[in-house]
Structure 1
């Protein structure tokens, strides 16, 4: 006999686990299927672990709305569940006076997004906060922070399982059927067939493969996918003299090479953008050469030969080279016409910050229609 569950969540990264927690806490019967043998092995564990304030995203976009709401939900959750985190702040640095107007534009855009706590810094105030920064002005974002992503995922999983959800590792969705009028059916490697009333595809990099494997899903509704590899470097020895995250003034096409800190205080520089067609996480040591000039604009004291490869992440993007960054795409029945199916496409940064807000959006979109 084929087992039937209320809702299947595909993917046990930070988004899938947050969705499972949200649905299970609302009384849904939830099963999470994860193709790997551990949770969060891809995008969720290969990022900067930054809690973003919501400064840069297009006003009114899902990224902006989910980031601002998710930031406060995440800070509150980390306190409640004792997830290691620090609200240490971020400094955005203008390294010459021609960039000051850009700082003003960043502050105005942030305010339009609901980020109202930015503090303008003149040169003296900037150097009082971070004496080793080379800059003429800056913005302080006190709401920016960092989080232990692995601890966050452990807490989300524990909450989901505590509310009755199941998490099945090593369980890859091979194919399925979502034809209207028939029960949703999934073929799971090593398990067999499984029926569900609702399906939330949080497959991250693999979300496109999952959606494309579903008989009855309209192929024309599968968006294009681009893979952006981000390389990170750290110091081969010593530490940085900064207490906060440091970002240059954003330029067209990206945020520049910025400095983030992990929970242990170790520095990471990156990510850059390397467009790729494969999931290759190796970091080329020679790519560090282009980092030095960018970093030295705000930290001239960076020694020669100081950078060494740390790790790389690959972001699933809905926009490619030269295109404006696309928004998150929470694709529900209104977009594709399949009742009970939600695809989470292009959940890159600020996905970690937004995870709890996006989970609430999924619960609202899924509604109660799938309850049997």
Structure 2
């Protein structure tokens, strides 16, 4: 279950979520375990996202679950435990769902006007309007704040967009692309909701990935794409506005990093119960138990950090450095945890059938996306010293 004591020994879910919210997450955990997990090894092998994944998840109504108050459903605590449960099953599944529930929904809710948010958010919650967050570019990732090269030129009530985006997950299934572009008139960053099938939009799948193979990423080209002013998010007028939304999103990644550690621990524990060497289950070996204990410590500390961050945010205390610290620490810790899981399984840890291999590879993507380790470290360092080390 989502909050079982093996990976939540402190009872954090029980202390921070209502019974109705926990029931919704238990239902999610059951669907993930019984209907989605059996699809994952084949999906990884063929680098495809089965349509059944969203087919199973969307009817659960996880952005407005039955019996859960609107305030709790919209809290970063509930969305965090939701991401945790998804990532505990698979990082690609969590990343895909969060592309809608986190990235796209956040930019519309926090970057749109009150009227735009009221119009579109209900559709987004029900997956009746699907979208992705198109910020990163082929030549600009960590330096996107100053380097963003996609342009937007206004002609009356229409904007003309030109440029490229890269690493945009799930773009092929989205109705709209939330595209960030630099206004040629004032040099400031704006955000536009672009129809995926609009003239001038083309998508190319990125092949050859060794991480998040199930989640499909795309390179997007925009050539003379026309977007009306009413599809520009009215609350985004500068990079400062974008950064405020990114602050919200980094907590999502901390929860995902915690979740993949729980999933890796699950895989390791299952294996140690079944695998025998020297005439006994390897779960009874001292060195194996030491590795499992370290994994549990990492997973518990990461979950605790994510919970504390969400508690602060839900209380109205938001800071770039706290979000950056949580993402940096949990993603770094995840690399050690999944490596330990792979070690416990020995050579079998490389086989998809045992599960640990997916977490081992996927931790690398989580370590890099939504702000690299180095960028997040500089955000934290700036808060500690009062000096910016960004170039």
TM (norm. structure 2) is 0.23
TM (norm. structure 1) is 0.24
Which structure is higher in helix share?
2
Structure scoring higher RCO (CA < 8 A, sep ≥ 6) equals: 1
